[in-house]
Amino acid sequence: MIKVVGAKGSIQDIDLFFKQILNLSKEYNVVIQAVDADIVYGKNHLISASEHAVRAFKQKKNSTNSPAMEILLYASGERQIQRAIQKVGIKKGKINIALVFVGGVQKEEKGKVSDTVVGEILEALNLIRDDKVLEGDIDTLRKFGITQQELMTVPKNKQGNIILEKVAMVDVIK
């Protein structure tokens, strides 16, 4: 089960924030990944990245040892972790955050990703849910690195699909 939510918050210590995420991930038996929502073009962007990551683990074609890091690679459309972090990683300060929750990636028992669990995790991270931060626009596409030339290849109402192609291309460039 995959759930994507948007949130707003202020991150003062990125290492501490991710240690909290790791602890909450273990506590609830779910994979949690947080990315900069300003580089996310809708929930489908992160759902697709998560599905690719889960499939990579099931097929033993994963590039990382962590399902959360695998999601980060796909979400960024990058092959290298460092480039992925630079592109979609959480920054210090006030930030819009996209959180991905995936239940039961590596274990037989499925972690539950209910709204209650999501709410508890957001509260523990001092984040306020705001799914509007996930709504991408032309600026999101440009921040992601999509060129004007690429944008001109598809109708305006399909431009968000370019990110989905970039997510899928990670399989090819692995």
- pTM for this entry: 0.90
What's the pLDDT score for residue 66? 94
Mean pLDDT, residues 14-35: 96
Q: Which helix H or strand E contains 10, and what residues bound it? A: strand 2-11
Tell which CATH architecture fits domain 2-173. Answer: 2-Layer Sandwich (3.30)
**Residue 85 clears pLDDT 90, i.e. is over it:** yes
Beta-sheet pairing, 2-11 with 30-36: unpaired
pLDDT digits (tens, 9 = 90+) for 90-108: 999 999 999 999 986 555 4
What's the pLDDT score for residue 113? 82
* DSSP H stretches of helix in the chain: 14-28, 43-58, 67-76, 81-88, 115-124, 138-144, 148-151, 161-173
What's the pLDDT score for residue 114? 86
| Domain parsing of the chain, residue ranges | 2-173
Mean pLDDT over all residues of the chain? 92
pLDDT digits (tens, 9 = 90+) for 134-154: 999 999 999 999 999 999 999
What's the pLDDT score for residue 174? 57
pLDDT digits (tens, 9 = 90+) for 35-73: 999 999 999 999 999 999 999 999 999 999 999 999 999
